[in-house]
Structure 1
């Protein structure tokens, strides 16, 4: 059921939600509120991904679309338009599209607050144009979990440096979520091969934040030097861990199927396909507690990764292999591991 409201208020939207639930004729149990802060051009893809994720986590989805206007007249006019969706394609949850016009675009907090589910967690997701400090953003203060995506920024590697400097418990990034399968396979490989790691190399696309985070995670957990290699991609293409018996190599050249080579064991094929945004959001909604592992990795410092001079030289000529300029060094927390240990 869809209800369109023009020049409305939060109170009227709550009333429309109640009417829609009664019209659907079924009890709806929702476990959280997911707030998506986006613009008119990107809201469709973000809402589609959130709706898919809500099949696993029934929730109330609030899509905040800011339309401040271009002309002085548009900017001075404050109006709230809403679209309430319950049942049908929405599934077990509720969706409210909030279009904030004019001056009201700067006061999204006041519009969203009355629409949050009572006694339920809140998650805020910025698919594009995340604030510099999500935890200090007014909408971010409402949430137990704040999701950003460094890959959607103009300089993803520099964005990681910003995330490190302003990190607060509850912050996370989809660039980190994309690493879950890689971290799981590497941890399992190190459990099977009990060997001391002397060095590592992580290869992937230029300016790919997930590749940088994976290298930081390995460096922080194993306490070894990690070299960052640049390849055409897609995404992360290989991880190589040097041991006394040989090299443990996880190679994914096509973005779908990887080969795991462990010294003394036959090669194995591993499914490491690049996951859709809906899968990433569903994973983030499974846990709402602070991700300490992400905090340790992102704070470790992108400038600690070494890049071969040969790659930098060839990149300057071809324009394909240059590594991103490192961001301002974030403050490191904790001590590096004194000896190599299996990743967890």
Structure 2
């Protein structure tokens, strides 16, 4: 079911949601959180599709904030809110509201979003592109328990990574870090099996890959060794090499979904290490709504007593 509202208000959008749920017989009590997606028109389709796929695991109300520029009389922006309310088959297993904001309304998006949040439910804000330098200080970000950015979507990932170090607040995370979950669990399992002291390490990846830098920083803190950053043809992270007196531990994934694990004095073995879709990454992030302490450790390249080092 889809309802289009033109030149509307947040109150009218809420009434459309209630009427739509009654029409299709779907209560709102099954939804576990509100996901706010702040994006542009160009990237909205892919972001909404990923959120709807993730909603199969996490039924949620998804609010899509798209700031638009409309011209009125005397070439001045005219404040306006247009909305699409999608329920049922149109919105995965939750509800989706696409909010197109014009003029002054776009400058105060939080005033539109706030009345539409699910009561007594966590709020997650995701910027697929163009995230603020300080997500927790952003008016929309301030509404959320978790704030998701993506270093892959910025023009200069390494420069932005440096800004995120200074701006970090509990609740911040980034999909560049989420992409490393399989790598981190594979390396932790390999180290548990090998039971040897690592003396140095190398992370191989395409040039300027932010996930590779986060992985290198995490290894430096985790293993208390220096980690070399080596450039490969990609895509993304292609190999991690851990040196020890007993030999080398290698996880090598030059391309495709399969990697090779090499442990000292053992035959090579293959394991699944695929590049996951955005929907899978978002679904993982929505599984936990507490602070991601390991992201903070990797971001800063240092551990603290308050942030114990684990996978």
User: What is aligned with 1:239?
Assistant: 240
User: What is aligned with 1:98?
Assistant: 99
User: What is aligned with 2:130?
Assistant: 129
Q: Secondary structure at the match of 2:162?
A: helix
Contact 2:220–2:226 (8 Å) recurs in 1: yes
User: What is aligned with 1:334?
Assistant: 304
Shift of 1:256: 1.5
Contact 2:72–2:78 (8 Å) recurs in 1: no
User: What is aligned with 2:6?
Assistant: 6
Cα displacement string for residues 270-327 of structure 1 (whole angstroms, at most 9, x for unaligned residues): 1111000000000000000001111011111xxxxxxxxxxxxxxxxxxxxxxxxxxx
**1:156-235 equivalent positions in 2, closer than 5 A:** 156-235=157-236
Deviates more, 1:283-292 or 1:265-274: 265-274
User: What is aligned with 2:274?
Assistant: 273
Shift of 1:31: 0.2
Shift of 1:74: 5.7
Deviates more, 1:89-98 or 1:228-237: 89-98
User: What is aligned with 1:17?
Assistant: 17
Shift of 1:255: 3.5
Which ranges of structure 2 fall in alignment gaps of 5 or more residues? none
Count of matched residue positions in the alignment of Structure 1 and Structure 2: 307
Distance (whole Å) between structure 2 residues aligned to residue 116 and residue 131 of structure 1 = 21
Cα displacement string for residues 222-258 of structure 1 (whole angstroms, at most 9, x for unaligned residues): 1101000001101100000001111000000014210
Cα displacement string for residues 137-192 of structure 1 (whole angstroms, at most 9, x for unaligned residues): 00001000000001110111111111111000000000000000000000000000
Shift of 1:104: 1.3
Shift of 1:131: 0.3
Contact 1:149–1:173 (8 Å) recurs in 2: yes
Deviates more, 1:100-109 or 1:121-130: 100-109
CA RMSD of aligned residues (A): 1.5
CA gap 1:244/1:103 in 2 versus in 1, 3 angstroms? same
Contact 2:53–2:92 (8 Å) recurs in 1: no
CA gap 1:198/1:220 in 2 versus in 1, 3 angstroms? same
Distance (whole Å) between structure 2 residues aligned to residue 296 and residue 26 of structure 1 = 42
User: What is aligned with 2:251?
Assistant: 250
Which ranges of structure 1 fall in alignment gaps of 5 or more residues? 301-331, 336-341
User: What is aligned with 1:60?
Assistant: 61
Contact 2:123–2:146 (8 Å) recurs in 1: yes
Distance (whole Å) between structure 2 residues aligned to residue 224 and residue 133 of structure 1 = 30
Poorly superposed stretches of 4+, deviation over 3 Å: 69-75, 332-335
